[in-house]
Amino acid sequence: GAWCWYKMVASLEESGLSPVTVDLTGCGFNMTDTNTVSTLEEYSKPLIDLLENLPEEEKVILVGHSTGGASISYALERFPEKISKAIFVCATMVSDGQRPFDVFSEELGSAERFMKESQFLIYGNGKDKPPTGFMFEKPHMKGLYFNQSPNKDIALAMISMRPVPLGPMMEKVSLTAERYGKGRRFYVQTLDDRALSPDVQEKLVRENSPEGVFKIKGSDHCPF
């Protein structure tokens, strides 16, 4: 949800920049039922709409966090000419044909096992149908996402976070060298991250070769 970035928005505006935050489908104030979001295209639609409506001469620096990395990759494939730089903040920087969930598999187990065994799954269409989303319980979220974050920010997150739609995370992302491969990609690593460990982030950087890598010492999974 766009609410995550409130401190960053204030800081960027004070620096004279023009930040725009986006609620992806089913996130933040986008009131779409998470359980109905089944594809990466649906999940990323608010971002794609923003890029489609950009004036022809304008470009954006696109920044995404965590599972939002999949939406950045999807947007880079769709609109490489409208994105001057893509910044992945401890995010799912996937390879062609990879599922965003696979990035977290070292922490959560294989996708197949997670779908069978996880206690955090949500069955929006009924227990006899495949799960539609997942949401960690508050104690787990604090330990996974916010192990270095201030208490006031954790309190805000606890009342703002919504379930993650599962369909987009299980979809294989199609990326081409001709479009996605032309994008300028940068990665921001968070070195005290328990949701996407520094080792996994290092592996993503090794396998996907961004133009530059930045590291934040003492940061959990929510560096903003």
Residues serving a catalytic function are 66, 193, 221
For 109: left if phi > 0, alpha if psi spans -120 to 50, otherwise beta; the answer is left
Whole-angstrom distance, CA of residue 64 vs CA of residue 89 = 6
Question: What residue has token string 């004279």?
Answer: 16
List the one residue out of 112, 78, 74 whose CA is nearest residue 94.
74
Q: Quick one: 148 exposed, middle or buried, by C-beta within 10 A (0-12, 13-18, 19+)?
A: middle
**Residue 214, beta-bridge partner list:** 188
Contacts 24+ apart (CB under 8 A), 150-153: 153/222
Tokens of 156: 């805000």
CA neighbours within 13 Å on the CB side: how many for 162? 20
List the one residue out of 142, 140, 144 whose CA is nearest residue 119.
140
Whether residue 173 contacts residue 96, with contact meaning beta carbons closer than 8 Å, is answered with: yes
